[in-house]
Amino acid sequence: MLKQFTTLIKKPALAVTATVLAASVFLYDFSHAEAASDVRYAHLQPFSPESIWNTAMGSGAKFDPADSSRMKNFFNESAYINSNNGYGIALNIAEPSDPVRSVTFQGKTYTHRIPAEATVISGTDGNLNVIDGQYVYEYWQVKKKSDGNYTAGYGVKTDLLDSGIEGGIRAGQFSTNGGLIRKHELENLHMPHALVMALSAQQLKSGWVFPAISEDGGNNGYSGTIPMGSLFAIPPEVDIDKLGLSPEGHMLAEAMQDYGVYVGDRASQITLYASNDVERELPDAFKRMVKDFQSILKNELRYVTNSSKNSIGGGGEPRQPKQAEVVIADNPNKIENPANVAGKPNEGEKERVEEPTPKPKGVFTDVPNNHRFSKEIKSMVEQGLIHGYTDRSYRPDASIERRHVAEIISRSNADLTPVRPGKDFQDVPKSHPNYDGIQKLYRAKIIDGSNGNFHPSARLTRAESAKIFVQTFNLKEKPGAANIFSDVSGSYWAADYIRVLSSHGVTLGSNGAYMPHQSLTRGQYAAFLSRLLD
């Protein structure tokens, strides 16, 4: 039942009832706030780097225990992901050639470009979502008129370069574009942003907390303990590689652990949101993701007790670097899955493994001579260890992926004597360009997979990199040379590897912290390897 926000500005809340279907190692002391990439397209991953949607969880986050009454009630509720069931979000992206239409609501009219065949969600919300340049127009209860124009029960205009949390049509006034699972993310198995979640009235509590600024009008019978705007996340001590997840579930788990999930709406059950093309065009991948959310990941989430406006994600060192600046694409529909989405190379554009890259003076087009890692990257090129991409770029600020780590190490002089038979992973067929490199490291017992998959496009964390390099090069600790890091306890699983690596002087951390959960960038990886080999 739709009612109105309880706030000074009364707006209808977005109904979200759904039918339950089957049931980076820092080699120098530079700031963690460095952007993960040079550019980010607003129609693919919107809102500012400072937005909650793009701010990583912090090392200071505190969590409700699993046996708290709040979490017990949460675990007992069913879960689903809305996509193409009439309650997801249809993203209509306008081009310069699309017709200009008007949408009238409550005595107000927005005029902008709308694709001729724009999709209006079929559920009771009747949602229309149109990205036109710098803005997204979000409408509720939309009807198309015979002249091609529209009427709506309510609408908002949101700046894609802004925060995405004030003025949207969700109950907490979040933009429906915030926290959305996108098709290109599922294809790339990389989703570097926070998610949004709806809860039932039995879970929700009257009132709201940052970043929400409203709730459903009249509270709609709220009787729970979780206010609108609350943040959930998978605690850092959970090893998601050991949860038996599908590749899609692993992607979802990474986002939940690195960025968290914000409560922004009301539904009949615990509900995440995906654009409608996810389920429509990737049905099998969608089903695997839903299954993992329902059976595993829902129960790994915990309520964050200390997230606030001045301490987003609990404060402390962020798990991931600051996001890149967001820009508007001139022809967005021509960039559906770019080579650079928040630092994630296009899965279809493989790193060259056949022919060595020529050695131009600047090494790569995006690594000028004055780049902080130019010397190390050039050294690795000269040794034939790194090749880069076919567009002559290296992408030094993108996260290094597991497949590339395996490929690069396999080219080195490391002792990779097999100690066990090879293993064919479901997600690394023999036709995969990095198949041989992955097999070499697996047979040498340097790397493993999980649940029959290798997760070749998954990012390598700083902790994982320490283990891989120590094992690959059989490093031993140099007495008295290791650094002591404030965020690596003696009981941490990778503490010994980090201590050994530190004793060789290749990792200095930042401000006394190692930040083991952050991703290692390609530039840092080259410098790391260079320090070990030169």
pLDDT digits (tens, 9 = 90+) for 23-33: 222 222 222 22
Q: Which residue has the higher pLDDT, 243 or 19?
A: 243
DSSP alpha helix (H) spans, 173-318: 183-188, 247-258, 276-281, 283-295
Of 261 and 88, more confident? 261
pLDDT of residue 347: 34
Q: What average pLDDT score do residues 230-242 get?
A: 94
User: Exposed, middle or buried: residue 487 (CB in 10 Å: 0-12, 13-18, 19+)?
Assistant: middle
Q: Which of 98-102, 221-225, 322-326 has the weakest average pLDDT?
A: 322-326
- Rounded to 10°, the helix 435-443/402-411 angle is 80
Residue 300: what are its φ and ψ, rounded to 5°? -95, -15
Assigned token pair, 33: 């706030």
Is the bond into 211 cis (omega within 30 degrees of 0)?
Answer: yes
Q: Which residues, including other chains, have CB under 8 Å from residue 134's CB and lie 6 or more apart?
A: 42, 159, 160, 161, 328
| Domain boundaries, given as residue ranges, for the chain | 462-516
User: How many CB atoms neighbour CB 421 within 10 A?
Assistant: 8
Residue 449 has pLDDT above 90, yes or no: no
Report yes or no: 137 and 129 within 8 Å, Cβ to Cβ.
yes
Looking at residue 334, its pLDDT comes to: 61
Give the pLDDT band (50/70/90) at residue 346. Answer: very low
Q: What is the pLDDT of residue 335?
A: 62
pLDDT at 15: 39
User: What per-residue confidence (pLDDT) applies to 330?
Assistant: 74
Quick one: pLDDT band at residue 336, thresholds 50, 70, 90? low
The residues with which 154 forms a beta bridge, in sequence order, are 140
Looking at 259-354, list the stretches that DSSP marks H as alpha helix, in order from N- to C-terminal side.
Answer: 276-281, 283-295
Residue 463's SS3 state is helix
Least confident of 48-62, 121-135, 257-271: 121-135
Of 86 and 374, the one with more pLDDT: 374
Quick one: CA dihedral 293, 295, 296, 299, positive or negative? positive
Q: How many residues does the chain have?
A: 534
What distances in angstroms separate CA 136 from CA 2, 42, 94, 132, 343, one per listed residue? 23, 10, 10, 6, 23
Query: Can you tell me the distance from the alpha carbon of 127 to that of 98, in angstroms, rounded to the nearest whole number?
Result: 20
Residue 17's pLDDT band (cuts 50, 70, 90): very low
Per-residue three-class SS string for 155-184: EEEEECCCCCCCCCCCCCCCCCCCCCECHH
Cα torsion angle, 378, 384, 388, 391, sign: positive
User: 260, 272 in Cβ contact below 8 A?
Assistant: no
- C-alpha 195/C-alpha 272 separation (Å) is 7
Question: For residue 361, what is the DSSP state?
Answer: T
Task: Reduce the DSSP state of residue 80 to 3 states and report it.
Answer: strand
Does the pLDDT at position 4 exceed 90? no
Of 77 and 452, the one with more pLDDT: 77
CB count in 10 Å sphere of residue 263: 28
Residue 21 pLDDT greater than 50, yes or no: no
Per-residue pLDDT at 254: 93
Cβ atoms of residues 446 and 468 within 8 Å: yes
* Other beta carbons within 10 Å of 44: 22
Q: Is 529 helix (H, G, I), strand (E, B) or coil?
A: helix
Type of residue numbered 432: H
pLDDT value at position 37?
40
pLDDT at 343 over 50: no
The model's pLDDT over 75-130, given as tens digits with 9 standing for 90+, comes to 999 999 999 888 888 889 998 899 999 999 999 999 999 999 999 988 777 889 99
Contact 149, 240 (CB under 8 A): no
- What's the pLDDT at 51? 96
Check residue 325 and give its pLDDT. 84
What value does the mean pLDDT of the chain take? Answer: 83
Count of CB atoms within 10 A of residue 430's CB?
A: 8
Look at residue 329 in the predicted model and tell me its pLDDT. Answer: 80
Query: CA 74 to CA 230: how far, in whole Å?
Result: 13
What is the reported pLDDT for 356? 40
Give the model's pLDDT for residue 178. 95
**Burial of 97 by CB count in 10 Å (0-12 exposed, 13-18 middle, 19+ buried)?**
exposed
Q: Report the pLDDT averaged over residues 494-510.
A: 86
Taking the CA atoms of the chain, what radius of gyration do you get in angstroms? 24
- Measured between alpha carbons, how far is 119 from 371 in angstroms, rounded to an integer? 46
According to DSSP, the residues that pair with 112 across neighbouring strands are: 101
> In Å, how far are 43, 102, 346, 360, 437 from 380, measured between CA atoms?
36, 56, 23, 13, 17
Higher pLDDT, 505 or 337: 505
- CA 59 to chain CA centroid, Å, is 17
Q: Per-residue pLDDT for 16 more than 90?
A: no
Distance of CA 381 to the CA centre of its chain: 30
Q: 184 near 250, Cβ under 8 Å?
A: no
SS3 content of the chain, % helix, strand, coil (to 5): 25, 20, 60
Residues with Cβ within 8 Å of 500's Cβ and at least 6 positions away in sequence, in order, are 466, 470, 475, 476, 477, 482
CA-to-CA dists, residue 128 to 104, 120, 293, angstroms: 13, 5, 27
Percent of the chain with pLDDT over 70: 86
Give 154-193 pLDDT, tens digit per residue: 999 999 999 999 878 898 999 999 999 999 888 878 899 9
Tokens describing residue 308: 């606030």
492: left (phi over 0), alpha (psi -120 to 50) or beta: beta
Return the higher-pLDDT residue of 85 and 440.
440
